[in-house]
Amino acid sequence: MCISKVMVVGAGIMGSGIAQTCIEHGLNTLLVDISKEYAEKGAGNIAHFLQRKVEKGKITQEDREAALKLLQTSGSYEDGKDADVVVEAATENMDIKLKIFAQLDDIVNEDAILCTNTSGMSITKIASAAKRPERVVGTHFFMPVPAMRLVEIIPGILTSDLSEKKAFEFGQKIGKTTVKAPDTAGFLVNRIFEPMRNEAIYLVMEGNRPEDVDQAMKLGCNWPMGPLELADYTGLDTLLASMTKIYEELGDPKYRPCPLLKKMVNAGMLGKKSGRGFYQY
């Protein structure tokens, strides 16, 4: 598959991370959001993180400048109509994703694959919004995208073999290790990991200190971050939405979201992005 242009829809943490990974691997990349202003903010974050890599000696200043030359921003999908790969990285809301894919399908050239970076929503359902659902495929990246090596490739029931193959090639082209995952709630990683984070929250609800829970897992399991630190980093609302979806689809009580998690989200304690979660920021 020849990839000359990638369009990333959504300039938040995930979308910006995906776009950064693409330009660092030499791909012309268009970062799109609901306005060019939002897209420019995402591009600013990319420039910042690349500068930090320069300061740490991971890349040269020349590498940074060359990568940023490959990045463009826009507030319109039309500017990405010639993209070979589209990666949607909008918020985890099915209605929003359905609307985006219905629009993309009418704009992007028919040979392009349409990827969704959902962390657990049905690929088959998202693809139903497209006139050509066979070209829709899940590509679940992990945060922070530039550092995390894995991408789960999730075909929907109507995803063609060719689209699946293209998604694997895209992942490998941007330096990721790819694994095939089932189109069920949580896919592979989150189906295993979300109950672990949920159990950590139960431990806090039972009176244990978040610091002790995280320290135990970091030192006892050699994790770089504790489960509660990571929950704060990714967003407690995102974790609750994922756990709720898995529980509703599978019906297994082991996936029932912890009551404390629900209370914290209701209180606006969403983690790092709100300034308070299990820790203060």
Domains of the chain, each with CATH number or no CATH: 5-180 (3.40.50.720), 189-274 (1.10.1040.10)
If you average pLDDT over residues 19-28, what whole number do you get?
98
Alpha carbons 107 and 87: distance in angstroms, whole number: 14
What is the model's pLDDT at position 143? 85
What is the model's pLDDT at position 238? 87
| Sheet (strand 71-74) strand order | 71-74, 28-32, 5-9, 85-88, 113-116, 136-141, 150-155, 177-180
Per-residue model confidence as pLDDT tens digits over 137-165 = 999 999 889 999 999 999 999 999 999 99
User: 114 forms bridges with which residues in the sheet?
Assistant: 86, 136
Q: Is the pLDDT of residue 1 over 70?
A: no
The whole-model pTM stands at 0.89
If you average pLDDT over residues 173-191, what whole number do you get?
95
What is the model's pLDDT at position 194? 92
Active site residues: 119, 140, 152, 190
Dihedral pair phi/psi, residue 105, rounded to 5°: -60, -30
If you average pLDDT over residues 265-273, what whole number do you get?
96
